[in-house]
Amino acid sequence: MSEQDKDIKIENEAKEEFVSKKAYQDVSTDMHKYKTDLKETKALLNQIQAEQEAVKKEALAEQGRWEELYNSNQSELDQIKQERDSDKNKFVDYHKKNSVLQKIGGFKRDDYNKFIDVENVSMNDDGSLNEDSLMNEVDRIKQEYPELLKSASNTKLPNDAPQGNEVGPQDANKLQGHEKVQYLKSLIKKK
């Protein structure tokens, strides 16, 4: 294979790696169309299932099979209660975590929220958080994981570094007499 044939082959491969803008837009449009179709199909499926359930219940009522109808309604009600309780527990846990985060000022990273033990924070009879248990959890986190907490200082070093320190180079013109001589000697010795 000649050198020119190799160059043409490499150019063709490079052209195949890139996708044209129009092709990308077409795929994106198709994706949105399919998502919309999926939503419509799911809505239609839910509607059909609800209609079938209503017909089934009506047939049971007409046949006088009230016990079966009652049991199916009871199981449906139990399922809804379980979902509601699950959602309630998630909300309470979120509220507890959020309250602890507000008291400690937050973690450096969001994934450190897993160190909050929501079981340590209890609820009062009126549904509010017990302040003592909340403060105990905050104190526990501050003692066990101080390195994970956001710092209270808002300074941004080095621009906000304290002024007047002896660490950096000094301006010899600001020094007087003996201090100026000592400083210049130290600079010469360093070189």
Domain ranges of the chain: 88-150
Residue 66: what pLDDT?
A: 79
Q: From CA 106, how far away is CA 112, in angstroms rounded? A: 9
pLDDT above 50 for 13: yes
pLDDT above 70 for 155: no
pLDDT above 60 for 64: yes
Residue 112: what pLDDT?
A: 85
Please indicate, yes or no, whether the overall pTM of this predicted structure exceeds 0.75.
no
pLDDT above 70 for 152: no
Task: Encode 140-172: b = buried (16+ Cβ within 10 Å), e = exposed.
Answer: ebeeeeeebeeeeeeeeeeeeeeeeeeeeeeee
Task: Say what percent of the chain tops pLDDT 90.
Answer: 21
> Region 125-138: what's the mean pLDDT?
89
pLDDT above 90 for 175: no
CB 140 within 8 A of CB 120: yes
**Helical axes 66-104 vs 21-62, angle rounded to 10°:** 140
Residue 39: what pLDDT?
A: 93
> Region 108-121: what's the mean pLDDT?
87
Residue 57: what pLDDT?
A: 80
pLDDT band at 149 (very low <50, low <70, confident <90, very high): confident
Residue 167: what pLDDT?
A: 45
Q: From CA 36, how far away is CA 54, in angstroms rounded? A: 27
Beta-bridge partners for 123: 129
